Amino acid sequence: MNDHAPHADSAALQAAGRRVLEIERDAVAELLPRVDASFAQACLLMLRCNGRVVVTGMGKSGHIGNKIAATLASTGTPSFFVHPGEASHGDLGMITRQDVVIAISNSGETAEILTILPLIKRMGAPLIAMTGRPGSTLASSAEVHLDVSVAQEACPHNLAPTASTTATLAMGDALAVALLEARGFTQEDFARSHPGGALGRRLLLKISDLMHTGARIPKVGPQATLSEALLEMTRKGLGMTAIVDAQDQVLGIFTDGDLRRVIDNGLDVRRVKIAEVMTKGGRSIGAEQLAVEAVNLMDKHKITVLTVQDAQRHVLGVIHMHDLLRAGVV
């Protein structure tokens, strides 16, 4: 342990943390009346945009701008971040007259942004400013100004951007979600832009992507003995078998759980017919349903396997909880 490290007791640290959260909570609450006609106008500019929403900002505002651009892009509003310092050295070519620019500056006087401001205006790209000073150069130059000013920073010296960056980020989230709802952006749309994540797997994978098909489906006819059915279950390794008629229509299923009940009843596995001990019908799901629906169905009925059937009850496949676990759906 460093003997020269500053000392602080637990109570003081907790009090400081709570004070920060209270200040930032109040800063966000003060934004509510500012979600007004200007907010709606900013949304309309972005909804009508034929290009991209380009977000720019320096320092901490730049970090917040990066997050806002990422949130917009993942919720249906194509967007990217441009560093204002790099913009004046060539990256301004990334912006076109078809785009909408969101410029973020707490002071509204950030030099790097003001340097490229005339070029953005000459280009004709609509400008939305997010500042803490409605009378600033940036605010007065924009088509729309969103006031993200705060009464105080959470920093005790009122210097480090804390409450102001939280307020700006919250306003950016409000814009993104308002646009999401206006576009009718769905869960499936969101998943398409996150195909590598757990959410994408949950929302995009269908039963047909995961089910066992063809020769891997455990199935026997109704005249098979229980012993023959157990051999089929062992070969296919899914802890169950479907019982099907000559047209491959499902009559019922037999699972490990059913086997325990048969043994408890003292039945002869070599003589009894599977049709006599099967669970008639059984739980099933459609091939085009989402994999997450299989999870919900299994949870609801406390089972681990489902037959996959078409509308005429023909067996198309089998899906097991292990398949869902391997795919990351669970």
Strand 305-309 with 284-285, pairing: parallel
Sign of the Cα torsion 247, 252, 257, 259 reads negative
CATH 3.10.580.10 range(s) for the chain read 207-326
Model confidence, pTM:
0.65
Q: What is the pLDDT of residue 327?
A: 83
Instruction: Output the pLDDT for position 257.
Output: 86
- Run of H or E including 205: none
Share of the chain above pLDDT 90, in %: 74
The pair of three-digit structure tokens given for residue 48, joined into one six-digit string: 């009508």
Both tokens of 178, joined, read 């308002």
Q: In what order do the strands lie in the sheet with 250-255?
A: 219-220, 240-244, 250-255, 279-280
Q: Is the pLDDT of residue 40 over 80?
A: yes
Burial of residue 107, with CB atoms counted within 10 A of its CB: 0-12 exposed, 13-18 middle, 19 or more buried: middle
Cβ–Cβ under 8 Å, residues 296 and 321: no
Side-by-side strand order, sheet with 100-105 = 79-81, 53-57, 100-105, 127-131, 144-147
Collapsed DSSP state (helix, strand, coil) of residue 285: strand
Question: What CA–CA distance (Å, rounded) separates 297 from 100?
Answer: 45
Confidence class for position 129, pLDDT limits 50, 70, 90: very high
The answer to whether domain 12-185 has CATH 3.30.9.40 is no
- What would the mean pLDDT of 136-157 be, rounded to a whole number? 96
Contact indicator for 288, 207 with CB cutoff of 8 Å: yes
Helix (H, G, I), strand (E, B) or coil at 54: strand
From the list 171, 204, 175, the residue with the least C-alpha distance to 75 is 175
Torsion angle of alpha carbons 56, 57, 60, 66, nearest 10°?
0
Residues of the chain with CATH 3.40.50.10490: 12-185
Report pLDDT for 211. Answer: 96
pLDDT tens-digit map of 182-200: 998 776 666 666 555 556 6
Question: Rounded CA gap, 75 and 180, in Å?
Answer: 6
The answer to whether 302 touches 231, Cβ cutoff 8 Å, is no
Class of domain 207-326 as given by CATH: alpha beta
